[in-house]
Amino acid sequence: MQAPAPPPVIDIRKVWMAFAKPSGEPLPVLAGIDIALPEGEILGLLGRSGSGKSTLLRIAGGLIKPTSGEVLYRGRPLAGPAEGIAVVFQTFALYPWLTVLENVELGLDALRLPLDVARRRAISAIDLIGLDGFQSAYPRELSGGMRQRVGFARAIVSDPVLLLMDEPFSALDVLTAETLRTDFLDLWIERQLPTKAVLMVTHNIEEAVLMCDRIIVLASNPGHIAAEIRVPLPQPRDRLDAAFHGIVDEIYSILTSRMTEAIGAQARIHGGLVQILPQVSPNRIGGFVETLASSAYAGQADLANFARPLALEINDLFPIAEALHILEFAELKEGAIKLTAAGRVFAQSGTEERKRLFREHLIRFVPLAAHIRHVLDEREEHRAPRARFEFELQDHLNQGDAEKTLRAAIDWGRYAELFSYDDETRTFALDHAAG
Amino acid sequence: MEHHAEVLKGGIWHQRIPSWRDLAAMLLVLGIVVLLGTGARQMVAPFVVAHQPAISLSPTALPFYTLRTVMRMLAALILSLIFTFTYATLAGKSRRAETVLIPLLDVLQSVPILGYLSFTVVFFISLFPGNTLGPELAAVFAIFTSQAWNMAFSFYQALRTVPRDLDEASRSFRSSAWQRFWRLEVPFAMPGLIWNMMMSMSGGWFFVVASEAISVGDIQIALPGVGSYVARAIQERDLAAVGWAIIAMTIAILLYDQLLFRPMVAWADKFRFEQTAAQIVPRSVILELFRRSRLLRLLGEPIGTELHKTARARLTLPRRLHRVTRWSLPRRSVDVAWYGLLAAGLGYIVWELSRYARSTLSWSDVTIAAGNGALTLLRVAILIALASAIWVPIGVAVGLRPKLTEGVQPAAQFLAAFPANLLFPVAVFLIVRFDLAPKIWLSPLMILGTQWYILFNVIAGASAFPGDFREAAASFRVRRWRWWREVMLPGIFPYYVTGAITASGGAWNASIVSEAVSWGSERLSASGLGAYIAQMTEAGDYPRIALGIAVMSVLVISMNRLLWRPLYAFAERRMRLD
């Protein structure tokens, strides 16, 4: 990079973030993040839910103050939301009681413009984003795609230098999302926007490769930068291009290798009790295994190829893959997934046989489930309160993960008839079926 | 009056406060009321109530009286709105203020409204000696107390539940506190606020009638209005006049509904937060008239633009001040000072109260009041059970038939709004005529006006019951008894609880005017806490009025805490699918 470049639009330096747990202890969500976003770049933050990417975006927008570290906006420390930074929200965040025009004007409220100037600018933003004719409509009259267009118009109306986008297309259906993406990219490439840089959060790998110049992969617990990938392809990009595929595959394999490492590491310490279980219903596991075992894949597939026709995003795909890997029904390696022998048997079996197999694997590979069963077996009355295991888990995991893990264990244990659980009394028990 | 704020349509229930705060708040309320009341009374010991025009029983005087009553209502509504926007905003924005204001509000809404009256009348008269403004304000204040609390609650809860994304959007646009208030918070709170206003109003008619003609000790007040008209009619044993008053009130309530609330509800529809189109869009002929009429639109335009400008104005000063107080002072030491101050204030009130109580009351007074309280509690419980047994099946039957619902629902709402105390003379006349036992036959009066809340909530519940649940039950040919127990009753339960809470709160309030009644010179008393308070009020025995009010507040609060809230939380939990 050339030496006399202008300062980065946003410069995140050694940022740490921790929220307070109900118990008062800090719960770290971001650890030592360093990101500089130069002018002219679209930077993607990619990661699974819980990796802190949305928190990072809000820190960049001044909506949240980091616990430590600093954020420089064009070389100056950022204290709260600043002029020149605009946010596009995943949920659109439109005010339902204001019309499209009024919603867009809202983006100008802080600028103290005369009423007529504000109106003129709002109308030209609406025109630019392809909403003309809808000025007087209320958000509830619009489709999701049109609503997000209002979100975009509202963000660009104030001529922001930095545009922050928090999963802007993830609440839209596949086709609408694609149109909106290309429309936005057209504006960006043709330099119709005064915006100098874009920071975008996404959990859609192809979307990231399609739009971004650089992608930062965040890993969880606590969120940190796992990898940084440049996307040197010229715009507009072609999803069918081999180079495009290469980058998508690379990201998949980065993510899978991180995941298998983490699973392996968790299994080795504290007798496996620190293992975080993904919340995936046995039905989804079954469906996934069947699809993978079908003639289309014959038991193995690149995750990228598997995800595309099913339009699975990483938040759908990875938890299932993770569950299969933990239960050793499948093995993840370098962005590919392959059924194990047990996985193939599972795919062919009927309900009872599946449950039996699932139970075996649950006891062997999920120490928490085995532990719950063991405690119930030991106790004379074969009952144990949920709180007992909650406390045990919270020694090693943060509260959210402990809760999630326990819920997954309950779901799997119930399916496998390893134990039963009564939510009214919050107790585990062995019932005769499981005995 | 019991609150609708937290039980509002699928409302969000959250356990706000540990109970020691309630106790503290309770003492605070009681202390202030007693101290202000007695203080004011001493100030103007032999005072002159302004010259009051005699109330005429001629039907031709009624339109004017009704107008006066309606104006009082409106004045109270405006005051309640101002109170809501300030009190609730303060509670919603300041953590420290919240710890005091919210428990206080909780207690305030459990104090019987007519209980305040005997104290506040004296206070307001002393503010404006020799002027009718005093009693007028006292009456307006009584109505205010029947409306303000639940409106403030609903606004406070809305402030607390502003959706996160809208909050972030507003912050990322750097809206000032003023812009945020008018652009985000008020609109978001609007549907709940209007709903609560309607509910409050329907309770308010009862109190406006009751507060116009009062006598506390030697103070006799009869403000020109429907309430005084009826009071006079009772003295004169004039049943025809009572009939005229009923007709006048009916017309007034219907007009209020058509001219004020329907347009408001229809207008507020755009503030609904759900981003889906409504199934039934509320309509109002009056609102459409306003929207369609060119002349009115032309007149309205400049006002609209000015309002828009006002909402856009930044007015940043308060925000900067806010920030200074927020960040520059060390939080802990301010906290310590704040709680210290609270404790000291509370201590002073406790000391003052106990001194006051010891000099005037004995333990036997407490047992008498408590005994009366138990009697009234028994009445409320039996009446709610009876009303439920009658109205739940009827409500379900009506609610499941959309055509019928259309007709019955407005009628039920009207009946809930109609001040039942106007009907009391008719009932009392019958009791006197047929020589019935007042202890039993006066009881139903308590619930005469409030039973309709059960009916219309159950109707609402039954008509909102998902069609596919009903069809599933029908296709499995679920048997009658099972259908009630496992399909319908769980389905309407949250709605029923909402209605029952309102009905029981209303019944407590009504007990003060329904347990002791008169017809001419004939006096009937059913005994009970309401009768106790009424008699002490008539005698001007302030310590015992305070005692009665305190006992009633404690009973109402404990009933809410021990019965209704757990029931409601249970209903919420069971109805959730996720």
The secondary structure of B270-333 as a DSSP string is GG----SPPSS----HHHHHHHH-HHHHHHHHHHHHHHHHHHH----HHHHHHHHHHHSS-HHH
d(CA B196, CA B189): 11
Which residues in chain B have Cβ-Cβ distances shorter than 8 Å to A141? 277
When scoring B181, B188, B275, B308 by the number of chain A Cβ atoms within 10 A, the one with the most, hence best to mutate, is B275
Q: What is the mean pLDDT of residues B455-481?
A: 83
Determine whether the interchain pair A140/B314 forms a contact, defined as Cβ–Cβ distance below 8 Å. Answer: no
d(CA A415, CA A413): 5
CA A411 to the chain's CA centroid: 22
Chain B closest-CA separation from residue A232 CA (Å): 32
DSSP A11: E
**Domain stops at, among B218, B241, B272:** B272
Q: Per-residue pLDDT for A162 more than 90?
A: yes
Q: In chain B, which residue's Cα lies nearest the Cα of A141?
A: B277
Residue A294 CB neighbours (<10 A): 11
Which residues in chain A have Cβ-Cβ distances shorter than 8 Å to B276? 140
Which residues in chain A have Cβ-Cβ distances shorter than 8 Å to B274? 96, 140
How does residue B82 score in pLDDT terms, banded at 50, 70 and 90? very high
Q: What does the pLDDT read at residue B334?
A: 76
Q: Is A292 helix (H, G, I), strand (E, B) or coil?
A: helix
Residue at B491 is within a domain: yes
Residue A20 CB neighbours (<10 A): 9
Chain B closest-CA separation from residue A264 CA (Å): 33
Domain boundaries, chain A: 10-252, 282-434
d(CA A197, CA A42): 6
For residue A28, cis peptide bond before it (omega within 30 degrees of 0): no
d(CA B572, CA B387): 23
Residue at B97 is within a domain: yes
From B174, B270, B273, residue closest to A81, measured CB to CB:
B174
Which residues in chain A have Cβ-Cβ distances shorter than 8 Å to B194? none
Residue at B384 is within a domain: yes
Question: What is the number of domains present in chain B?
Answer: 2
How does residue B523 score in pLDDT terms, banded at 50, 70 and 90? confident
Residue type, A324: L
Contacts across the A-B interface (CB distance below 8 Å):
77
- Tell me phi and psi for residue A429, to 5 degrees: -155, 160
Q: Per-residue pLDDT for B253 more than 80?
A: yes
Determine whether the interchain pair A109/B277 forms a contact, defined as Cβ–Cβ distance below 8 Å. Answer: no
Residue type, A123: I
**Share above pLDDT 90 across residues of chain B, in percent, rounded to a whole number:** 5
Q: Per-residue pLDDT for B425 more than 80?
A: yes
d(CA B439, CA B455): 26
From A63, A106, A139, residue closest to B171, measured CB to CB:
A63
Residue A265 CB neighbours (<10 A): 11
CATH number at residue B210: 1.10.3720.10
Residue type, A115: L
How does residue B383 score in pLDDT terms, banded at 50, 70 and 90? very high
Q: List residues of B whose CB lies inside 8 A of any A CB.
A: 163, 165-166, 168-169, 171-176, 179, 183-184, 187, 190, 270-277, 305, 308-309, 312, 314
Q: List residues of A whose CB lies inside 8 A of any B CB.
A: 58, 61-63, 80-83, 85-87, 89-98, 106-107, 109-110, 112, 115, 138-141, 147, 158
Which residues in chain B have Cβ-Cβ distances shorter than 8 Å to A94? 275
Determine whether the interchain pair B176/A110 forms a contact, defined as Cβ–Cβ distance below 8 Å. Answer: yes
ipTM of the prediction greater than 0.85, yes or no: no
Which residues in chain B have Cβ-Cβ distances shorter than 8 Å to A163? none
Which residues in chain A have Cβ-Cβ distances shorter than 8 Å to B174? 80-83, 109-110
Question: Based on the domain organization, do B545 and B420 belong to the same domain?
Answer: yes
Q: Considering the domain A282-434 in this protein, what is its CATH number?
A: 1.10.10
d(CA A262, CA A259): 5
Q: In chain B, which residue's Cα lies nearest the Cα of A157?
A: B173
Q: Is A117 helix (H, G, I), strand (E, B) or coil?
A: helix
What's chain A's length in residues? 435
Contacts 24+ apart (CB under 8 A), B169-172: B169/A87, B169/A89, B169/A93, B169/A95, B169/A106, B171/A63, B171/A81, B172/A61, B172/A62, B172/A63, B172/A81, B172/A85, B172/A86, B172/A87
Q: Per-residue pLDDT for A296 more than 70?
A: yes
Are the beta carbons of B454 and B503 closer than 8 angstroms?
A: yes
Question: Based on the domain organization, do B266 and B388 belong to the same domain?
Answer: no
CA B316 to the chain's CA centroid: 35
Chain A closest-CA separation from residue B315 CA (Å): 11
Distances (CA, A) of B354 to A118, B350, B417, B550: 63, 6, 40, 13
Q: What does the pLDDT read at residue B300?
A: 66
Chain B closest-CA separation from residue A86 CA (Å): 7
d(CA B532, CA B112): 13
Which residues in chain B have Cβ-Cβ distances shorter than 8 Å to A97? 187, 190, 270-271
Pairing of β A10-20 and β A383-385: unpaired
Q: Which residues contact B234 (CB under 8 A, 6 or more apart)?
A: B242, B425, B428, B518, B519, B520
Determine whether the interchain pair A110/B166 forms a contact, defined as Cβ–Cβ distance below 8 Å. Answer: no
Who has greater pLDDT, B3 or A72? A72
Residue at B296 is within a domain: no
Chain A closest-CA separation from residue B482 CA (Å): 22
Are the beta carbons of B416 and B476 closer than 8 angstroms?
A: no
How does residue B392 score in pLDDT terms, banded at 50, 70 and 90? very high
DSSP A223: B
Question: Based on the domain organization, do B266 and B379 belong to the same domain?
Answer: no
From the list B292, B88, B310, B259, the residue with the least C-alpha distance to B188 is B88
Mean pLDDT is lowest, of A43-57, B251-265, B325-339, for B325-339
From A98, A109, A140, residue closest to B275, measured CB to CB:
A140
From the list B184, B175, B169, B179, the residue with the least C-alpha distance to A88 is B169
Question: Based on the domain organization, do B246 and B367 belong to the same domain?
Answer: no
Question: Based on the domain organization, do B424 and B548 belong to the same domain?
Answer: yes
Residue with tokens 């107008």: B67
Residue environment code for B250-279, b if the CB has 16+ CB neighbours within 10 A, otherwise e = eebbeebbeebbbbbbbbbbebbbebeeee
Rg value, chain A, Cα = 24
d(CA B129, CA B439): 40
Who has greater pLDDT, A172 or B8? A172
- Write the pLDDT tens digit of every residue in B91-149: 888 877 887 888 888 778 777 777 777 777 878 877 777 777 788 888 888 888 888 88
Rg value, chain B, Cα = 25
Determine whether the interchain pair A140/B274 forms a contact, defined as Cβ–Cβ distance below 8 Å. Answer: yes
Residue type, A179: T
Q: Which residues contact B460 (CB under 8 A, 6 or more apart)?
A: B399, B409, B495
Question: Based on the domain organization, do B254 and B375 belong to the same domain?
Answer: no
d(CA B366, CA B49): 32
Determine whether the interchain pair A140/B276 forms a contact, defined as Cβ–Cβ distance below 8 Å. Answer: yes
Which residues in chain B have Cβ-Cβ distances shorter than 8 Å to A90? 165
When scoring A59, A85, A95 by the number of chain B Cβ atoms within 10 A, the one with the most, hence best to mutate, is A95
Q: Which residues contact B320 (CB under 8 A, 6 or more apart)?
A: none
Residue type, B124: F
Residue B303 CB neighbours (<10 A): 9
Q: What does the pLDDT read at residue B45?
A: 43
List beta partners, residue A427: A385, A422
Determine whether the interchain pair A89/B270 forms a contact, defined as Cβ–Cβ distance below 8 Å. Answer: no
d(CA B248, CA B413): 18
Q: What is the mean pLDDT of residues A272-290?
A: 86
Instruction: Report pTM.
Output: 0.79
Q: B19-43 and B113-127 helices cross at what angle (nearest 10)?
A: 40
Q: Which residues contact B360 (CB under 8 A, 6 or more apart)?
A: B543
Q: Per-residue pLDDT for B329 more than 50?
A: yes
**Domain stops at, among B228, B243, B272:** B272
d(CA B113, CA B119): 11
Residue with tokens 């509910």: B199
Structure tokens at B249: 């009130």
Residue at B54 is within a domain: no
- At the topology level, CATH places domain A10-252 in Rossmann fold (3.40.50)
From A89, A97, A110, residue closest to B169, measured CB to CB:
A89
Question: Based on the domain organization, do B418 and B522 belong to the same domain?
Answer: yes
Q: Per-residue pLDDT for B496 more than 70?
A: yes
Q: What does the pLDDT read at residue A235?
A: 84
- Write the pLDDT tens digit of every residue in A256-277: 888 888 888 877 776 777 788 8
Determine whether the interchain pair B175/A63 forms a contact, defined as Cβ–Cβ distance below 8 Å. Answer: no
**Domain stops at, among B250, B272, B294:** B272
From the list B186, B273, B208, the residue with the least C-alpha distance to B71 is B208
d(CA B142, CA B407): 33
Residue B187 CB neighbours (<10 A): 21
Q: Which residues contact A342 (CB under 8 A, 6 or more apart)?
A: A328, A329, A357, A361
Distances (CA, A) of A346 to A287, A299, A432, B291, B311: 11, 12, 25, 66, 63
List beta partners, residue A331: A338
Residue at B349 is within a domain: no
- Write the pLDDT tens digit of every residue in A355-376: 999 999 999 988 888 889 999 9
When scoring B173, B273, B305, B323 by the number of chain A Cβ atoms within 10 A, the one with the most, hence best to mutate, is B173
Determine whether the interchain pair B270/A83 forms a contact, defined as Cβ–Cβ distance below 8 Å. Answer: no
Q: Is A81 helix (H, G, I), strand (E, B) or coil?
A: coil
- Considering A405-414, B28-37, B38-47, the range whose residues carry the highest mean pLDDT is A405-414
The three state secondary structure string of B139-188 is HHHHHHHHHHHHHHHHHHHHHHCCCHHHHHHHHHCCCCHHHHHHHHHHHH
Structure tokens at B454: 């059960």
Are the beta carbons of A197 and A10 closer than 8 angstroms?
A: yes
- Tell me phi and psi for residue A217, to 5 degrees: -95, 125
Structural domain boundaries, residue B160: 1-34+62-272
